[in-house]
């Protein structure tokens, strides 16, 4: 039968050293600063094949803009949802697909509230109707955050919401938006 | 005299001697305090952002998850009934989990998941990123909290159960803060503004359905390993390190299993399928860890009850009381029996007697020459019990009414939870 005896008392040094505590801090620093530093040291950009459809997730595909790279840190394909993050230089082009039971207006309200829920972000201008080459109907608008501008678009189809957000400095956006718009128009649902 | 001196040389550490005033004299304590302060600053920044954007949802989350901590805290306190840990150290453990481990895990887990995507693929990260990155960083950060307790107050970790207590409180602190962050994340994702419904859904899912087999449990297992490492001085260092590593691995593996995509689609999407997945992925680690915690508790209880048995004094403790004192459920049964027999005053007196007996047992193990005060305390409560006509703090006959009441309460709680989840669309 097991017992805790006085011999079970600790045999560690009786005066815990400052060194042990500093070692503890080093371990924590390795986790909170070392891992992110290692992450930054490894490139996140992957080339995508020009003109070929890319599977975002949940059966939704898109043809990325020419010259775009895939940022794997913001890309998570899945069976019932997914995200893809493309970069055109400093411009960020993100597509998020997730299950949704509401209509297009509700989806647009939800996306706008998420955008304005981020400190410093404001929706600008009016919302316009858009459609893709495959017939998906959507709404698009713009937003600003300090010296950065942005564009959003949202589509609803097959029990999914497809949200597109584009952000970058105004000058870069002006240069890349035509290619991104062309890419957005290629969004389509192929089925899982 | 020489025997006492020899014993003192062999066992220089006496449990429970570290007081806050002594802690402040240790440089290591100040390092831990700086780490806690840094964690507090980081988490306060996040909380301020939440409060600014979603004030009502954030306050609701703080209230609900704060309340959730209460039953867990009481469970851990009951586990810690015999040899109480100092409140200041329990607070340090809880704060480590809620402030340090969380603020380290947020950037660490994100970075590790990114590395999985970069070195593997985005698909691998989507399937297994959360399952591997979170547990790896979080379990290490939490276990370091128990190590911090050992560093600043080694003499307070004098059984495997003490490691369990500190580990589970680190886990509890982590769990509560993580749940609040997840709840506000759900509010942001819902895109309905400052809405409390995602908070309530998160509370029901993460607090009740997933809360039982979460960080408190994983922390308890990892803490047991540290406890073993510290107290098992009759074992080789290699064995002690290996056991601590095994316990940490067990906590990590339980966490990975819980986060994993396994069985996600195999059982369908219905409510029963959800329950089956919860039980299948959560129940095996829960049962295993509860078994180990029970063993650690019983081993400690046997030791302290044996100290009282050595007195051979029925005025201090009877045979029946020794049996009751060694188990949380039997202690509670003895209190219920006292209430049935002699009213609520007897229930309170039995609790005080049990506490006094526990304090006496601990003092006998540390400094028998100073135990007289506790002897008097026990005798005083014994006299009160006798005056109330209930002289012995023992369990009564098994009550089927109590068992039926417990089962009924659990069934009603599950039914209410299920209805609430279904109403909120969570199921």
Residue B4 has pLDDT above 50, yes or no: no
Q: Does A12 touch chain B (CB under 8 A)?
A: yes
Mean predicted lDDT score pLDDT of chain B: 86
The more confidently predicted of residues B403 and B260 is B260
- Could B232 and A8 be called an inter-chain contact, meaning their C-beta atoms sit closer than 8 Å? yes
Q: Write down the pLDDT at residue B1.
A: 36
Say which residues have a Cβ less than 8 Å from residue B21's Cβ, sequence separation at least 6: none
CB-based contact B259:B131 (threshold 8 Å): yes
- Could A4 and B300 be called an inter-chain contact, meaning their C-beta atoms sit closer than 8 Å? yes
- Could B303 and A4 be called an inter-chain contact, meaning their C-beta atoms sit closer than 8 Å? yes
* Residue reference for tokens 């999914």: A160
In a domain, A143, yes or no: yes
Residue range A30-62, pLDDT digits in tens: 999 999 999 999 999 999 988 899 999 999 999
Residue range B37-52, pLDDT digits in tens: 999 999 999 999 999 9
Residue B266 has pLDDT above 80, yes or no: no
Distance CA A129, CA A139 (A): 5
The more confidently predicted of residues A185 and B210 is A185
Distance CA B347, CA B350 (A): 5
Angle between the N-to-C axes of helices B271-309 and B344-366, in degrees from 0 to 180, rounded to the nearest 10: 60
Closest by Cβ to A111, choosing from B148, B160, B191: B191
Residue B377 has pLDDT above 90, yes or no: yes
Angle between the N-to-C axes of helices B87-95 and B27-53, in degrees from 0 to 180, rounded to the nearest 10: 50
Q: Which residue of B has its CA nearest to A41?
A: B115
The more confidently predicted of residues A115 and A28 is A28
- Could B27 and A18 be called an inter-chain contact, meaning their C-beta atoms sit closer than 8 Å? yes
Residues 50 through 109 of chain A touching chain B, CB cutoff 8 Å: 57, 70, 72-73, 75-79, 82, 109
Shortest Cα distance, chain B CAs vs residue A142, angstroms: 17
In a domain, A159, yes or no: yes
Residue B284 has pLDDT above 90, yes or no: no
Cβ contacts (< 8 Å) between A9 and chain B: which residues?
A: 11, 13, 15, 158, 231, 233
Distance CA B390, CA B334 (A): 11
Q: Which long-range contacts (CB under 8 A, 24 or more apart) does B315-320 make?
A: B315/B378, B315/B379, B315/B382, B316/B357, B316/B360, B316/B375, B316/B378, B316/B379, B316/B382, B317/B357, B317/B378, B318/B392, B318/B394, B320/B392, B320/B394, B320/B395
Q: Write down the pLDDT at residue B420.
A: 66
The more confidently predicted of residues B328 and A68 is A68
pLDDT, mean of residues A51-76 = 94
- Could B28 and A5 be called an inter-chain contact, meaning their C-beta atoms sit closer than 8 Å? no
**Preferred mutation among B191, B195, B239 to probe A, highest tally of A CBs within 10 A:** B191
Residue B219 has pLDDT above 50, yes or no: yes
Residue B392: Cβ within 10 Å count: 19
Residue B241 has pLDDT above 50, yes or no: yes
Residue B255 has pLDDT above 90, yes or no: yes
Model confidence at B10, pLDDT cuts 50, 70, 90, reads very low
Residue B268 has pLDDT above 80, yes or no: no
Q: How much of chain B exceeds pLDDT 90, in percent?
A: 52
pLDDT, mean of residues B107-116 = 96
Token pair listed for B365:
């193990």
pLDDT, mean of residues B93-111 = 97
Q: Give the largest CA-CA distance in chain B.
A: 75
What is the three-class DSSP state of A123?
strand
Model confidence at B249, pLDDT cuts 50, 70, 90, reads very high
Residue range B125-163, pLDDT digits in tens: 999 999 999 999 999 999 999 999 999 888 888 889 999
Shortest Cα distance, chain B CAs vs residue A147, angstroms: 21
Q: Give the largest CA-CA distance in chain A.
A: 78
Count of structural domains, chain A: 1
Q: For residue A156, what are the β-bridge partners?
A: A161
Distance CA B14, CA B11 (A): 8
- Could A35 and B54 be called an inter-chain contact, meaning their C-beta atoms sit closer than 8 Å? no
- Could B11 and A7 be called an inter-chain contact, meaning their C-beta atoms sit closer than 8 Å? yes
Q: Does A44 touch chain B (CB under 8 A)?
A: yes
Token pair listed for B193:
């503004």
Shortest Cα distance, chain B CAs vs residue A44, angstroms: 6
What is the three-class DSSP state of A158?
coil
What is the three-class DSSP state of B10?
helix
- Could A114 and B31 be called an inter-chain contact, meaning their C-beta atoms sit closer than 8 Å? no
Q: Write down the pLDDT at residue B308.
A: 92
In chain B, where are the structural domains located?
19-295, 310-396
Checking DSSP bridges between strand A148-157 and strand A60-62, what pairing results, if any?
A: unpaired
Shortest Cα distance, chain B CAs vs residue A74, angstroms: 8
Q: Which of B16-25, B118-127, B194-203, B322-331 has the lowest mean pLDDT?
A: B16-25
The more confidently predicted of residues A153 and A116 is A153
Read off the DSSP letter of residue A166. E
pLDDT, mean of residues A93-117 = 91
Shortest Cα distance, chain B CAs vs residue A21, angstroms: 5
Q: Does A170 touch chain B (CB under 8 A)?
A: no
The more confidently predicted of residues A120 and B184 is B184
Shortest Cα distance, chain B CAs vs residue A132, angstroms: 24
Distance CA A78, CA B119 (A): 18
- Could B232 and A111 be called an inter-chain contact, meaning their C-beta atoms sit closer than 8 Å? no
Distance CA B248, CA B318 (A): 40
Closest by Cβ to B49, choosing from A11, A110, A119: A119
- Could B154 and A72 be called an inter-chain contact, meaning their C-beta atoms sit closer than 8 Å? no
CATH number for the domain spanning A86: value is 3.40.1000.10
Q: Write down the pLDDT at residue B277.
A: 74
Q: How many residues does chain A have?
A: 192
Cβ contacts (< 8 Å) between A33 and chain B: which residues?
A: 107
Residue B80 has pLDDT above 90, yes or no: no
In a domain, A122, yes or no: yes
* Global model pTM greater than 0.80: yes
Please name the residue ranges forming H helices in B80-204: 87-95, 102-119, 122-124, 130-153, 160-190, 197-202
Closest by Cβ to A17, choosing from B28, B112, B303: B28
Q: Has the ipTM of the complex gone over 0.90? A: no
Tell me which residue range forms the domain holding A150. 45-189
Distance CA B147, CA B153 (A): 10
Q: Which of A5-9, B205-209, B220-224 has the lowest mean pLDDT?
A: A5-9
Closest by Cβ to B118, choosing from A31, A72, A114: A72
Residue range B155-211, pLDDT digits in tens: 888 889 999 999 999 999 999 999 999 999 999 888 788 899 999 988 988 887 777
Residue B97 burial (10 A CB sphere; 0-12, 13-18, 19+): buried
Return the H-helix or E-strand segment holding B77: helix B55-79
Distance CA B148, CA B215 (A): 18
């Amino acid at each position: 039968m097991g017992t805790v005896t006085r011999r079970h008392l600790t045999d560690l040094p009786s005066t815990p050293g400052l060194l042990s505590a500093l070692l503890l801090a080093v371990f924590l620093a390795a986790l909170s600063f070392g891992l992110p530093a290692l992450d930054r040291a490894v490139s996140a950009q992957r080339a995508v094949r020009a003109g070929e459809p890319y599977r975002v997730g949940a059966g939704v595909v898109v043809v990325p803009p020419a010259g775009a790279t895939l940022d794997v840190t913001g890309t998570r394909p899945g069976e019932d949802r997914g995200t893809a993050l493309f970069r055109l230089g400093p411009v960020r082009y993100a597509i998020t697909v997730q299950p949704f039971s509401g209509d297009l207006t509700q989806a647009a309200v939800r996306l706008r509230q998420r955008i304005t829920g981020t400190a410093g972000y404001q929706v600008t201008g009016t919302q316009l109707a858009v459609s893709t080459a495959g017939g998906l109907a959507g709404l698009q608008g713009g937003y600003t955050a300090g010296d950065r501008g942005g564009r959003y678009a949202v589509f609803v189809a097959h029990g999914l919401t497809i949200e597109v957000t584009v952000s970058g400095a105004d000058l870069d956006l002006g240069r890349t938006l035509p290619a991104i718009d062309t890419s957005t128009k290629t969004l389509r649902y192929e089925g899982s | 005299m020489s025997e006492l001196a020899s014993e003192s040389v062999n066992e220089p550490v006496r449990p429970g001697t570290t007081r806050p005033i002594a802690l402040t004299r240790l440089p290591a304590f100040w390092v831990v305090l700086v780490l806690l302060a840094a964690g507090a600053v980081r988490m306060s920044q996040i909380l301020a952002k939440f409060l600014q954007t979603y004030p009502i949802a954030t306050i609701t989350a703080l209230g609900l998850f704060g309340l959730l901590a209460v039953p867990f805290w009481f469970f851990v306190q009951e586990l810690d009934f015999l040899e109480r840990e100092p409140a200041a150290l329990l607070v340090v453990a809880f704060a480590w989990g809620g402030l340090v481990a969380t603020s380290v895990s947020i950037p660490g887990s994100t970075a590790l998941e990114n590395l999985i995507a970069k070195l593997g693929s985005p698909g691998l990260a989507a399937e297994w990123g959360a399952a591997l990155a979170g547990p790896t960083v979080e379990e290490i950060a939490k276990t370091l909290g128990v190590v911090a307790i050992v560093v600043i107050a080694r003499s307070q970790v004098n059984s495997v159960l003490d490691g369990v207590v500190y580990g589970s409180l680190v886990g509890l602190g982590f769990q509560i803060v993580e749940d609040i962050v997840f709840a506000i994340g759900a509010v942001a994702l819902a895109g309905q503004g400052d809405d409390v419904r995602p908070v309530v859904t998160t509370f029901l899912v993460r607090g009740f359905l997933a809360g039982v087999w979460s960080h408190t449990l994983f922390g308890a297992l990892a803490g047991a390993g540290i406890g073993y490492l510290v107290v098992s001085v009759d074992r080789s260092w290699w064995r002690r390190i290996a056991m601590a590593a095994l316990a940490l691995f067990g906590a990590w593996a339980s966490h990975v299993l819980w986060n994993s995509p396994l069985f996600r689609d195999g059982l369908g999407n219905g409510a029963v399928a959800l329950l089956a997945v919860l039980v299948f992925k959560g129940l095996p680690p829960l049962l295993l860890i509860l078994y180990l915690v029970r063993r650690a508790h019983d081993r400690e209880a046997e030791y302290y009850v044996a100290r009282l048995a050595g007195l051979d004094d029925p005025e201090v403790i009877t045979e029946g009381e020794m049996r009751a004192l060694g188990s949380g459920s039997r202690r509670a049964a003895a209190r219920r029996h006292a209430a049935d027999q002699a009213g609520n005053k007897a229930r309170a007196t039995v609790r005080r007697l049990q506490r006094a007996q526990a304090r006496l047992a601990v003092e006998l193990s540390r400094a028998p020459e100073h135990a007289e005060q506790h002897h008097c305390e026990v005798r005083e409560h014994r006299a009160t019990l006798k005056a109330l006509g209930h002289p012995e703090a023992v369990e009564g006959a098994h009550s089927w009414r109590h068992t039926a009441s417990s089962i009924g309460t659990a069934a009603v709680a599950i039914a209410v939870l299920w209805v609430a989840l279904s109403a909120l669309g969570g199921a």
